[in-house]
Structure 1
Amino acid sequence: MSVSSPPSLEHESKVINESEPRKPIGLGSISERSAINPSPDSPWSYLKWYLTSKEGWLGDYDYLYLVTPNIWPLNRKYKHHKTPFYGLHDEVPILLTIILGLQHALCMVGSIVSPPLAIAGGAFYLDSATTQYLVSAAFITTGITTALQVMRVHLTKTPFFIGTGLLSVVGPTFDILPIAFNYTRMRYKDGTCPTASDGTPLPCPDAWGAILGSILCTVWIQVVMSFVPPKTLNRIFPKVVTGSLLLLVGIYLVGNGMQNWGGSSSCHGGEGFYALCPDTAAPRPLRWGHPKLIGLGFTVFVSIVLVEQFGSPLMKSSSVIIGLLVGCLVSGVAGYWSTSNIREAPAVTFLWVHTFKLSVDGALILPLLIMFVCEAVSCMPDILATAEISNVDIEGTEFNSRVQGGILCDGLGSLLSALGTGPPMVSQAGNNGVISLTGCASRRAGWCAAVFLVLMGIFGKFGAVFGSMPPSVLGGMQVFLYATIAVAGLRVLGLVRYTRRNRFILTVALGVGFIDIVQPDWFSQMLTYDGDSMALAGFEQGVNLIVETPFIAAAVVGVLLNLVLPQDASQMDDLIQDQAGHAMMEKQS
């Protein structure tokens, strides 16, 4: 296929001196795209060519491949198909940029909406309007932080950056959920969050304001850690620690997702207004765990599995949102939806439409400090995965710089999100499947995705749909998403060398974490301060919150054991290493 050479930008402005030779659009391979020597024309000539030519809009990408289902005989043409690869700075056709930008945004929808929905409905019992607003705020802050991560801004006169410069997507962290659930349970128990006469929890927005205010005070530890060399962080927080905390977070949250799958966490053993699920005012309220409610969640879960098996590349990378759409369709036809909240939702919204009274609770300081320390370390494997699939260096000075920029961007993103009333942020590797399937790691698609995410948040009706869906449909999606977190933990633990020392650390850390999961109130009678000292009361609540939050307790134990246990050798370790070497040799032969 012959194409015209695009005019080039001799002095294209690229952030942080990451300039690479411009690669023209429209040829199938990297070598071919590099073969044309661009002519030194003005930026306006290049822009005119890019916006008006067929090559600028379409290139020669096989768009049919993106929508062809994996069903014989339709998939026969693409059985051995190899998609062209677009690197970080390659010029991507405009249409493909828009399609893939939307694709990256859609594949993150489930991960973005799940934390605010769980916070609003499962922890603070907020009303529908506030719930819809939190979803919209999460989209807006996610889009802004993602744009900053993709851009990678150089801090002048320093070797430091903000952002990875990769097609990295930043989204709300799930690690805040165990802290939020345990914190509100404590506040409802001590009476600082309101309840009805029958004990039914009432909305407690002030508790969310306390978490936001405490985040603004504690997120700075992650900002400071971003300037610590990655090798030092890896030495203090090895994979045996980060893998175990990801595994525990996933397992803990699967339980919360299953609560929603059965009807809603508020109606599991509830009374009065919450005697039926999701509440007695719902169109078709049922008892928690009713087969019809379980079936609604299964429509989502099974749809995700079927899309993964038979879907086209675009469908596979959006399997979660497709499963959610199927669940919404089935539940809507069956009459489980109440559309009044969607009708009443504003067409356009933005940050600070709803605000919360900010405060700082001493009980939250230690748990949040530990959480942000864990966030700074746990994002490193995700940055590594994105760098590897983007075909850039995964070791050396440049990669360490990307890690530093990613950790700093996550910290500043959490700060921005808290100022915008949203949950804290963390880099995620959930969009790596889109990069792999489409062969596009260009930052242009990342910027386009950021724009789509902000627009999704601005249009209020979009958030209202997620805030109004039946909890059982949401639960089917959450169980799948939360299970992927546990699998990510297993993946990290699979990189651990299972020496006697590492097995011991893992056993103790997981043992402590599993105690909190299987018996969350085991520590409730250990520290019970009834005096008048607010300082001691806050300290007691903080310790309880740490001990009763699985991944925090495991992280503390794992880090301490890793620092104090001697690096002694064992003959058993040598035998295990020899067995692993023999197995690898047999596999290669």
Structure 2
Amino acid sequence: MSHASVSSVTKEQPSPVANPNTRSAFNDVRRKVTTKHGWLGDYDYRWLCLPSLPTGKRKQPPFYGLNDELPLILAMASGLQHSLAMLAGLITPPIIFASSLALDPETSSYMISASLIGCGILSLIQLSRIKLWKGYYLGTGLLSVVGTSFATLSTADAIFTAMYNNGTCPSTVGADGTVTRGSCPDAYGMVLGTSLVCSFLEIGLSFLPPRILKRVFPPMVTGTVIVMIGASLIGSSGILNWGGGSNGCQLRPTSGIYELCPTVGSPHALPYVRHA
């Protein structure tokens, strides 16, 4: 195949879109909410709702570009889907932290709220792409959510276990040798402080050229780390939170709603049992 027959691919930034004036914006909104095309468009909703069969032949749905208008129904369905997927990723780490530290419901709610508020503010900064100096920017400008990192779960779980073992956090030992963890909000504060100090290293690495980062962190290193993070989460959170979660009953408290699993008010509540 000759070089001339190979079509070249050019990577270009999308052209800027002019800011609409008030009158045109009003007309666009009116057309959007008062016409069938504005609500439904030409999207194949069967592709969105029906399952994909291995033997079936399905026509690909239309692809929407960066500045294309989405029908209102499709935009609301996609927005709901993305918000639910985003919400699960943002609130899961604080829920796991609160469960590991046997925190009360008020503190757990506070941690979830802090995660949502913090991720919302940081996502706005990420979307804004604030110019700093000499070609450096704060944020990528991409439509993405800055969420709570799951990579901290395995490390935090090891820290919490060490703090319970050395007596920094309270715990009681039952007659059968079972260790029941007490509430330890100070451990979460220590993890936050440690994360704050470590964040300066990441800030410094962000100023390095990409070619240096790729040499320091090749795919062999990053891929292995990601696999090990997932493997470590199986025991620390995956099994405990399977099928809706064990809430806090894996800590075997002697009172409260988590004295039995999943809660004391469940139709068939049972005590949490560890198998050797």
The reply to whether TM is greater than 0.5 is yes
Query: 1:228 — aligned with what?
Result: 208
Q: Distance in 1 between matches of 2:73 and 2:263?
A: 48
User: Residue 264 in 1 paired to residue 241 in 2?
Assistant: no
* Higher RCO, 1 vs 2 (CA within 8 Å, ≥6 residues apart): 1
Residue 173 (structure 1) shift: 0.9
Query: 1:99 — aligned with what?
Result: 77
The alpha-carbon distance between structure 1 residues 201 and 221, as it changes in their structure 2 partners (threshold 3 A), is same
- Name the one with the larger helix percent: 1
User: Residue 219 in 1 paired to residue 199 in 2?
Assistant: yes
The alpha-carbon distance between structure 1 residues 267 and 206, as it changes in their structure 2 partners (threshold 3 A), is same
User: Residue 247 in 1 paired to residue 227 in 2?
Assistant: yes
> What is the RMSD computed on CA atoms of the aligned residues?
3.4
The alpha-carbon distance between structure 1 residues 172 and 91, as it changes in their structure 2 partners (threshold 3 A), is same
Residue from 55, 60, 67 that aligns with 2:41: 60
Query: 1:287 — aligned with what?
Result: 271
Residue from 116, 119, 123 that aligns with 1:146: 123
Query: 2:107 — aligned with what?
Result: 130
Asked if the contact 1:124/1:205 (under 8 Å) is kept, the reply is: yes
Query: 1:422 — aligned with what?
Result: none
The alpha-carbon distance between structure 1 residues 187 and 148, as it changes in their structure 2 partners (threshold 3 A), is same
Residue 282 (structure 1) shift: 5.0
Amino acid at match of 2:246: S
Describe the SS at the equivalent of 1:200: strand
Residue 47 (structure 1) shift: 1.1
The alpha-carbon distance between structure 1 residues 229 and 71, as it changes in their structure 2 partners (threshold 3 A), is closer
Q: Report the TM-score when normalising by structure 1.
A: 0.38
Asked if the contact 1:276/1:285 (under 8 Å) is kept, the reply is: no
Larger mean CA deviation between 246-255 and 99-108 belongs to 99-108
**How many residue pairs end up in the alignment?**
250
Larger mean CA deviation between 222-231 and 60-69 belongs to 60-69
User: Residue 183 in 1 paired to residue 159 in 2?
Assistant: yes
Asked if the contact 1:51/1:57 (under 8 Å) is kept, the reply is: no
Residue 132 (structure 1) shift: 2.4
Query: 2:144 — aligned with what?
Result: 168
Q: Distance in 1 between matches of 2:74 and 2:247?
A: 42
Query: 2:15 — aligned with what?
Result: 20
Amino acid at match of 2:78: L
Query: 1:159 — aligned with what?
Result: 135
Asked if the contact 2:260/2:271 (under 8 Å) is kept, the reply is: yes
Residue 206 (structure 1) shift: 0.9
Asked if the contact 1:88/1:166 (under 8 Å) is kept, the reply is: no
Amino acid at match of 1:232: I
Q: Which consecutive residues of structure 2, in runs of 5 or more, have no partner in the other structure?
A: 1-12
Asked if the contact 2:40/2:71 (under 8 Å) is kept, the reply is: yes
Q: Distance in 2 between matches of 1:140 and 1:250?
A: 26
Amino acid at match of 1:285: A
Query: 2:5 — aligned with what?
Result: none
Q: Report the TM-score when normalising by structure 2.
A: 0.76
Describe the SS at the equivalent of 1:248: helix
Q: Which consecutive residues of structure 1, in runs of 5 or more, have no partner in the other structure?
A: 1-17, 23-39, 291-589
Describe the SS at the equivalent of 2:270: coil
Q: Distance in 1 between matches of 2:61 and 2:148?
A: 31
CA offsets 1:327-373 (integer angstroms, 9 cap, x no match): xxxxxxxxxxxxxxxxxxxxxxxxxxxxxxxxxxxxxxxxxxxxxxx
User: Residue 80 in 1 paired to residue 58 in 2?
Assistant: yes
